[in-house]
Amino acid sequence: MKNIIFHVDVNSAFLSWEATYRLHHKGGTLDIRTVPSAVGGDMSMRHGIILAKSIPAKKYCITTGETILEAKRKCPNLLLVPPNYGMYEQCSKAFMGILKEYSDNVEQYSIDEAFVDISETCHLFGNPVETANQIKDRVRNELGFTVNIGISSNKLLAKMASDFEKPDKVHTLYPEEIEEKMWTLPVSDLFFVGRATTKKLLNLGIMTIGELAKTDPVWLKTVFKKQGEIVWNFANGIDFSPVVSVAPPNKGYGNSTTTPYDVVDEVTARKVLLALSETVGSRLRKDHVEIELVSVGIRYSDLSYVSHQKRLKTSTDLTMEIYNAACELFVALWNGYPIRHLGVHTGKVQDCDFSRQMVLFDDTDYEKLSKVDDTIDVIRKRFGNDAVKRAVFVNQPIDHMSGGISREKRSVDYSKIVVD
C-alpha cells in the first residue's frame, strides 16, 4: 500500500485509566473493568451523566450520555466512580508519547484516540500488523490499559476497523476487504451517520452499509444534501483527508457551564458570565489571538436553548470587554425564565494586533485593562487559578473560573473514596 494509516483507540478510556490508577497506585485489588461500572459526574452539581462504562455494563444497555438515574434503574449494583480529568490528561500524554516513537505524523483526534501515518516508518518495525501489535502490547505492558488499532490505507477505514471486536485487538480493513467486513454492518455503524440520519436511512429501506454504498449518490445528495455525498463516499471507503500532526488554529474560543442551581436573577447571571469571560479571555491571551465576535447561549430549565451574537468594533482579548459584550447580549436575550446553563463563545479569531483603533468618545483605558489581565495571568500560571480572584466571587458558590472541565472533575480526593 502507498499509505499505511493506523487508528488507535483506548478501550473504555476514562474507565480503563481509572482502573489502572487504582490497581497500580492506590493499592486496589478489584479491576473495575471486569464488573458493571461507569464513570459518572456529580448529580449534586447537575453533572450526573455517564461518561464511560465497562464492557460488563454494556450488557445492561447502559449508554454513554444517559443520566446516572437511568443507568441505576437498569443496573442497581452499578459501581460508579468520579471523573478525574487531570489524571486522564496524563494518561493521554503517555499514550501519545508511545505513538510518536513510531511516526512523527500523529494526529490526536481526541483525548483517547489518534491517527498515525506510518507509511514512511513501518519498514523499521515490521509489516503493518506486526507494528500495530507491537504498539498495542507496549501500551498494555507499559501503561496498564488496552487499545484497539485499525489498519487501512485511509483514516475512515482505519477508524472503522478499530471499532471491530474489542478490547485489545488489531484489525485490518483494506479496500479489498470492504465488502466482506464493512458492507454487512448496520448503517448506524458507519462513521458520520448519527441517530437522525440513521432513522431517515432506515425509513428509506437502507439497512446496511452495503445497501447505502450501492444507492444512487445523486439521489442521496438530493435527499440529504451535502451529507448524502459524504456518507455515500464513506460507505464505499472513500476518504482523502490526510493525517495532520499540527492542529489547525482555533476558529473560535468559548466556554459554558451548567449552574449548580437554576439562575433566576440578573445579578447571579452576570457573575456566571464574568467567570466564563475570565476563562475565555485567558485562553485568548495564552494563544496570542484576539476576537471580533461574542455570542451568549442560554439553556433554560426546560432544556430549551437560545443564543445571540454581536460583532465588536475592534478585536480584543480583554476579559472585561468580552464580559461587557456578553452582558449586553444577555439582557437583550433573557426572557426571565430560570436558567440552568450559560455559555460565552467568541469568533472571528485573528492574530493579536497591538495597535488598537481609536473610538471617538470612548475614554476606557484599554492599556490599563491589558496590564491587569496580563498580571493576573502570570500570577495564576505561577501559583494556580485560585491565587487571585475578583471580590465579587468571594464566599460565593459560583466558580470564579467557570467553563470547560468543571472543578470537581479536574481531580479526585481519594482519601474520601474507598478503593476496593
Give the residue numbers annotated as catalytic, written as ranges: 113
Do 371 and 301 form a contact (C-beta atoms < 8 A)? no
Do 292 and 285 form a contact (C-beta atoms < 8 A)? no
Which residue in this structure is represented by grid cell 485487538?
169
Angle, to 10 degrees, between the axis of helix 366-383 and the axis of helix 319-333?
A: 100
Q: Which residues of 32-55 are buried (b: 16+ CB within 10 A; e: fewer)?
A: bbeebbbbbbeeebbbbbbbbbbe
Do 349 and 291 form a contact (C-beta atoms < 8 A)? yes
* Helix segments in 150-286, DSSP class H: 155-162, 178-181, 195-203, 209-213, 217-224, 226-235, 266-286
Report the candidate in 9, 10, 16 with the shortest Cα–Cα distance to residue 87.
16
Listed in sequence order, the residues at least 6 apart from 293 whose beta carbon sits closer than 8 Å to its beta carbon are 252, 309, 310, 311, 312, 346, 347, 348
Residue 278 C-beta-side C-alpha neighbours within 13 Å: 24
